[in-house]
Amino acid sequence: MKKRKFGNSGLEVSAIGLGCMNLSFGPGPAKNFNDGIRVIRSAYEKGISFFDTAELYGPFTNEKLVGEAIGPFRDEVILATKFGFAHDHGQVTGADSRPESIRRVVDESLGRLKTGVIDLLYQHRVDPNVPIEDVAGTVGDLIKEGKVKHFGLSEAGAQTIRKAHAVIPIAAVQNQYSLWAREPEQNVIPVCEELGIGFVPWAPLGTGFLTGTITADTKFDSTTDLRSTFPRFTPEAIQANMPLIEMLVNIAKEKSASPVQIALAWLLAQKPFIVPIPGMDKEAYLMENLKSMDIELTSEDLNRIDDELSKIELVGARLNEGLLTMTEDQ
C-alpha cells in the first residue's frame, strides 16, 4: 500500500482512506451493521490505514460501527472524527463549537469509538459565533490531556486555516474536492502547501456522479438520500453535466481503467499531500478504487483534462443552500 504524509504533522496514512459515512448515512439507507464491519475490516486487510467518521453520521451510529470494526487493529490505523454541529434528535440546527460542546462531543465520541484517543479531530464546520482561536485552544487542551493527537478543519477557508494554525498546528483540512468541485484550488490547497498541512478531499467521486452510473433518470429517495436536496442532482443538472462523464469515460478507455479510477488518480496527481476518502460502502468497490493508485496520468493527460474541464460549465450548486451557508469561501 502506498502511503502519504500530512505535511509537517508526522501523520502518515494510506494514499487512499475510507470515508465511512456512507455505511450509515447519506446516499441511501444505512447498511447492515455486520456488512459495514466486513467492509471496514476488508479495507484494513487491503492496506487502508485511514478511517474517517463523525458524531453526526447516522447520527451517532457510524462511530459505533467504526469503533467496533477497527477494535482488533485499533493501534495500527489512523482514526478521524469530527465535532461542530448543533443538532436536535439528529437534525442539524446550526453550528456549535463552544468549548464545552467540543469537550462533551469528544468524550461521547471516545465512548462510541471504544478508544482512548482520537488521532485526528476535525471541526466539522466553522462556527461563526466562536472565534477559531478559541476552538483551536480547546482542542490544544484536549491534546495536552491525551484525548486527541491532531487537529483538523473541514470546509474551512484560507484565513480560518491560518488563524487556527497560528494557535496550534493543523494536521489536515478536509474540504469537498473533485473534478466537479475544484474550489479548494483557488486558496485552500495553496495555503495547505505553504503551511505544511495535509488535504483530504471528501466526496472525491462527486457524491457518486463521477462513477458514471448516474443518469437524468436516477431517482434519489427524499427520506434517505441527501442528494435529493442537492441542486447538482436534479435531472436537468445531471443531463447538463454529462459532458464531464463523457470526458472521464473516454480517458478511462484509453487507460484501460474505470471513470472512478481516473477521478481518483487525478486527485492523487494534484499534490503529494492529498489523501482522498471515497465512501466505499461495498467490498467490491475497494479493489476498484485502490487500483487508481497504479494509474499514471502524465502531464499531457492532466493538461488535457484541465483544457476539457475549462470548456464544461457545470450546472447546479454542489450542496443545498442550508449546507452551503455553513461553508466558508474557499
Query: Tell me: the pLDDT tens digits for 249-281?
Result: 999 999 999 999 999 999 999 999 999 999 999
Q: Work out the mean pLDDT of the chain and round it to a whole number.
A: 95
Which residues form the catalytic set? Answer: 57
Q: Which of 28-32, 57-61, 88-92, 182-186 has the lowest mean pLDDT?
A: 88-92
Average of per-residue pLDDT across 28-55: 96
Q: How many whole angstroms separate alpha carbon 118 and alpha carbon 107?
A: 10
pLDDT value of position 259: 97
Q: How many whole angstroms separate alpha carbon 302 and alpha carbon 272?
A: 15
pLDDT value of position 296: 93
Pairing between β-strand 50-52 and β-strand 148-154 as defined by DSSP bridges: unpaired
Domain ranges within the chain, ordered by starting residue? 3-208+263-295
Q: Which residues of 99-126 are buried (b: 16+ CB within 10 A; e: fewer)?
A: eebbbebbeebbebbebebbbbbbbbbb
Q: Does the bond joining 59 to the residue before it have cis omega, within 30 degrees of 0?
A: yes
pLDDT value of position 329: 61
Pairing between β-strand 91-95 and β-strand 85-88 as defined by DSSP bridges: antiparallel
Look at the domain 3-208+263-295 and name its fold: TIM Barrel (3.20.20)
Max Cα separation, the chain?
A: 54
Q: Are 88 and 121 in contact (CB under 8 A)?
A: no
Per the structure block, which three cell numbers stand in for 192? 495547505
Does residue 330 register a pLDDT over 60?
no
Q: Are 57 and 81 in contact (CB under 8 A)?
A: no
